[in-house]
Structure 1
């Protein structure tokens, strides 16, 4: 028997697939939600646009950091750790998805998500003639439509229990993180763990590059 579809808020409908095993989290600002997502079109085939489970790392979202796709924060707040649910989101709530998907795909490929981006003052409409580098995202950008998100909430971490990624840090936090990351990288390198050491150095460089972009 299919689960009942409930309306979370205007433009968001939810269908529970698998119940979570924990109480509903507080999700105060600074809470990190780690989840896998599957994005589908609302066509007869339910064409898959993205599936994070095919990548090495799941999505990480920090509540209150003004992520470019606010609807994800809204739907995550309705979930329990371990829960799997399906959300149908109306077009106005997912208009930015092609841009977000492009960035996430580039990050997963080890590329800078900002490379090749064009900054316009006229909003998403002016981007219609600018390719995102992915044919399916270009089509979705030209023809906005409702999207289905299937979310599997893997873990919820409270503020202060994790180190933020560079993109989620304030400028002061980035400055403070660089020497710590460099020190951790050196320690890992001395231990012969060059792969993890390189990852620490990469994080430090990402912090510095982000700060550099603001003063150019």
Structure 2
């Protein structure tokens, strides 16, 4: 990380943790006034971890594709003192934090999960201290050594971005239930606007996000209770909209699955029947397509002409396909 030649004084920010600014943030304002970050502020940062005595680099997040690293304050980030450090920084600042061994007893165990994430590695060994007690270690020799003999470490952070809660859209996993409920109409509207603008894949992402939130909310309720049923029914418009997106994107089997799921809640939903019919036709499932087109015409007579035309078109395509297959087979027999 870029540093300056300046060497500002080291200051203690917590018991066993001191800070030294390596590069001040642009437009940092008054250096004497610390920044103020409320709970659920978002930090995006790069980091380097070094052994203080030798300077050996234990890790450098800039070498991993999953960067910068993200942290939401007050949401239980396992390496708690990292949050303490970042909350003293301003966006663009680079600072080094010296952490004494007595503060690092569990750091190797806590850090292993983050390293697994950065390396896209799924741990095959036991979790946490249970794995260590069973002799399996942490899966990394350097972390095993640190666990056995804690050393003073230097953590260099480059705070790329810091946003207050009102400045960004929260990820679903940090939302409270009431926030998820409030987000659903907005996601639907955003999806509809994106769809109208021809941004089908982006619209599908909004509908998918909403369905995941509904799943999370339903998981908090007793199945088949009134609130659970309301949340389950609320999935239908998102299932239908997502099915339409997938139909346009050519994912016909996904369209069939989504429409079938919607029909399990509303058996007479004509949009679900008609969209599933078109998806069945696209994958040459003739019998199912004809059945759904017939059903759609019954549910909405206004669709009868379109359904009849679709069935005729599908029948003609099947006949043409069969004719070509017969000609190919005849050619092979003659050639043989």
Alignment TM-score, normalising by the size of structure 1:
0.71
| Structure-2 change in CA distance of 1:136 and 1:18 (3 Å) | same
Bigger proportion of residues as helix:
2
Deviation at 1:8, TM superposition (A): 1.6
Name which of 77, 88, 96 aligns with 1:86: 96
Kindly indicate whether the alpha-carbon contact (under 8 Å) linking 1:25 and 1:156 is maintained by their aligned counterparts in 2: no
Paired position in structure 1 for 2:7: 2
Q: Does 1:131 align with 2:137?
A: yes
Kindly indicate whether the alpha-carbon contact (under 8 Å) linking 1:40 and 1:49 is maintained by their aligned counterparts in 2: yes
Q: Which of structures 1 and 2 has the larger relative contact order (alpha carbons within 8 angstroms, sep 6+)? A: 1
Name which of 144, 150, 154 aligns with 1:144: 150
Deviation at 1:35, TM superposition (A): 0.9
Name which of 28, 31, 48 aligns with 2:41: 31
Paired position in structure 2 for 1:51: 60
Structure 2 Cα separation of the partners of residues 127 and 174 of structure 1: 39
Deviation at 1:63, TM superposition (A): 0.9
- How well do the aligned residues superpose, as a CA RMSD in angstroms? 3.9
Name which of 112, 118, 121 aligns with 2:126: 118
Structure 2 Cα separation of the partners of residues 176 and 111 of structure 1: 35
Structure 2 Cα separation of the partners of residues 82 and 97 of structure 1: 26
Partner SS for 1:107: helix
Structure 1 Cα separation of the partners of residues 124 and 75 of structure 2: 24
Deviations 1:136-161 (A, max 9, x none): 12222222222110011111111143
Paired position in structure 1 for 2:78: 68
Deviation at 1:168, TM superposition (A): 4.2
Query: Unaligned 5+ residue runs, structure 2?
Result: 1-5, 220-336
| Structure-2 change in CA distance of 1:157 and 1:149 (3 Å) | same
Bigger proportion of residues as strand:
1
User: Which structure would you say has the larger Rg?
Assistant: 2
Partner SS for 2:151: coil
Structure 2 Cα separation of the partners of residues 101 and 67 of structure 1: 11
Partner SS for 2:47: strand
Deviations 1:7-58 (A, max 9, x none): 12220111111111335432110101111111111222x1111111112311
| Structure-2 change in CA distance of 1:162 and 1:3 (3 Å) | same
Paired position in structure 1 for 2:334: none
Deviation at 1:171, TM superposition (A): 7.2
